[in-house]
Each structure stands twice: as C-alpha cells, then as structure tokens.
Amino acid sequence: MPVRKTESRIPLNLQASDLGQAVVASDGRCALVSFVTSPVVINRENVWVIFITDAGLAAAASSFEWTITETVGPPRVETSQFGEIAHTATHVGALNIQVRILDGSAAEQATLSMVQEVVPASAQLETMIHDAVNQPGPSIGSPDVLRELINEHNLYYQNVAPQTPESGDAYKRFVFSMVYDGASQRNAAQRKQDLDQLAVSLNTATAEFATSGSKGAGVCAIRPLLLSMTLPDMLPFTLLPQDFNQRSVAVEGLLQTFALLDENKRLDLYNIVRFPKSNITFCGRILEMLRTQYFSGTNFEQLLTGLSGVRAEFIIGQYHQGPITRT
C-alpha cells in the first residue's frame, strides 16, 4: 500500500494549514500541503505532500498521478508510489498542481488541486548580495542561505508570535537567527536527506528515529527529543545533569523512553519538523519554553540585549544540547 505512515495523519491539534499552504478535500479525507506558501520563486525547488487521513481511501490508494502545469510549456505528468513530489518552476505566472489518487486498476478515488503564483526572485535581495560582494565592509551573510530564507520562508518567520504576547520584535528576531543558523549548518539537500532517513525509519518501524531524536532536523535544526518536551502528553520537561558523563547517561535513558512513544506521536513529531512552516513555528515555541524555564519574567528584548546577549547564548546552547540544570 503506497500510503506511507508519514502521510497518514496531520499532527494532533494542528491543521493542514499549520504545515504550509494547504487544500483540504471537501469530505476531509485528504489534504494537499505545499512547503512554500504562494508566491513561489522561479528556479527554486518546492515540495508538495498529500496526506490521506481516511482509512478507506488509504486502503484503496495504489499510486499518485501528479500533473504540474506552468504558464508556458506542456504539463508535467508523473506517477509516484507515495504522496510527495518536488518541482522547480521555470516560468513566471500561474502554477497548477493536481494530484489524483488512483486505485490498483488506475481508477480515480480522489483528486486535489492547488494554484500558486510563480514570481521572480527578490530584486532587492539580489542587489544587496551584489553590493556586498563588490564592496569592502561587513558581510551580509551567506548568499545561498539568504536566498532560501527570503524567497521561501519569509512569510513563516515574519508571522511567528510568542504564545504569551509581548511588545517589540525581539521574538521574531530571535527566531530568524535560529532559522538562519539552521539553514547555514545544513543546506536544503542535506536536510532533505536527513528527513528522508527519518521517514524511512518510521515507515519501516526501525529504531533509527529514536536514536536520531537528539539530532537537529529541518530548517531550524529542531531535536525531536526536545520538541517532545514541548508538546502535551509526550515527554515531561527534564533537566539534564551538567556533568558530561552523567548527562550522556541521562540522555540515553530519555531516548529509551522516547523510543516507547506511541507511533502516532512519533509521526507527529516527524511532520512538525518536516515542514518549514511548522518547524519555524515550533522553533519559536521551544525558545519560549526555554526562556520561561531559565529566565522567567524576562521578555525577549531583555533576553537578547541584557548582559550583552549572554542569556540568549545560553538559551541557544540549551536548544542544541540541553536542557541542562543551571546552577
């Protein structure tokens, strides 16, 4: 059956639109989700995933026929064995993505379509990159990373907000820094390879997902183990010992508990880190959880600027290695 476990459910308490641009079938049996919310940028790859949440439709599905139509040229028609496809638009204008769910005799069981707009790359960003390359002075950062962030994730990090409202844009700036760092550490192809390996472990019921729980995944390098401490009814928030050897033992114990999580919970963790929109959203929630745990009563502006940014650096350390007991 081609409906993989990883495309069988939307994470608990989330909607398809929390993962990316989404179209949901009128009967609610399936949903099509785009990594990038329209407009998409020309000559940049995007990914679409179809979730089949209805057991009857999942049982009937045998293959997926994708038709991707740009403004110019013939449609691209391709059949896949599971519900994911990538495409790089090469013409500005309308982009139509249609997926037909077919049974074993190639009869259509359901169909979903999404229309997106394809636009040129940010001219302002390209001018900034050109000027920075050709003029002496401070660098603006990695051009490739900036192109990814501005052209693909801009709407997501611009719209993040703390669950406890506060004035100013410090929270957004902090989240943006984590998106930038994550995209700098692993490029899009490397992140996709990591996520594909996690998907294989979940779809084949191997132990790799649990053993990889302490490693970062997705655009913000979220560790599924730490994410599980942020979500309800998963793992409790657990402080680790400062001593490295004791910490290693404690992490191993946590990972053993993590491996025993219900399969649906592990699938939910995977899909949250898989999609850029939810990855960025929950990166912010993890930062907020860590801020509350270690510096309760401090807002994000104080976190970033107070003590020359030492507290922010501490939070980043916990994000990547902790949470560790603070003396």
- Tell me: do 147 and 78 sit in the same domain: no
Non-local CB neighbours of 223 within 8 Å, separated by 6+ positions:
213, 214, 215, 216, 217, 320
Residue 115's pLDDT is what?
A: 98
Task: For residue 121, count other CB atoms closer than 10 A to its CB.
Answer: 14
Q: Where do the DSSP E strands lie in the chain?
A: 21-24, 30-34, 40-41, 45-52, 63-69, 76-80, 84-88, 93-102, 108-119
Shared-domain flag, residues 261 and 176: yes
Q: Which of 119, 146, 171 is the last residue of a domain?
A: 119
**What's the pLDDT score for residue 140?**
61
- pLDDT at site 291: 96
CATH of the domain at 20: 2.60.40.10
- Together in a domain, 114 and 126: no
Q: What pLDDT, on the 0 to 100 scale, is given for residue 210?
A: 84
Burial class (CB in 10 A: 0-12, 13-18, 19+), 19: buried
Say yes or no: 43 and 130 in one domain: no
pTM over 0.85: yes
The verdict on 76 and 150 lying in the same domain is: no
In tens digits, the chain (327 residues) has pLDDT values of: 579 999 999 999 999 999 999 999 999 999 999 999 999 999 999 999 999 999 999 999 999 999 999 999 999 999 999 999 999 999 999 999 999 999 999 999 999 999 999 999 988 888 888 776 665 544 567 899 999 999 999 999 999 999 999 999 999 999 999 999 999 999 999 999 999 999 999 999 877 888 888 899 999 999 999 999 999 999 999 999 999 899 899 999 999 999 999 999 999 999 999 999 999 999 999 999 999 999 999 999 999 987 778 999 999 999 999 899 987
Q: Among residues 278, 238, 266, which one has the least CA distance to residue 49?
A: 278
Alpha-carbon distance 304 to 170, whole Å?
A: 7
pLDDT value of residue 309? 83
pLDDT at 201: 92
Last residue of a domain, one of 68, 94, 119: 119
Among 53, 88, 119, identify where a domain stops: 119
Q: Are both 140 and 115 inside the same structural domain?
A: no
* The predicted structure's pLDDT at residue 142: 87
How far is the C-alpha of 83 from the C-alpha of 280, rounded, in Å?
A: 23
Percentages helix, strand, coil for the chain (3-state, rounded to 5) are: 45, 20, 35
11 and 60 in one domain? yes
Whether residues 306 and 244 share a domain: the answer is yes
Residue 144: predicted pLDDT: 92
Do 325 and 196 share a structural domain? yes
Domain residue limits at 69: 5-119
Supply the pLDDT for residue 124: 86
**99 and 220 together in one domain:** no
Same domain, 186 and 103: no
Q: What is the number of domains present in the chain? A: 2
Which residues, including other chains, have CB under 8 Å from residue 106's CB and lie 6 or more apart?
62, 63
On whether both 269 and 158 belong to a single domain, the answer is yes
Q: What is the pLDDT of residue 137?
A: 46
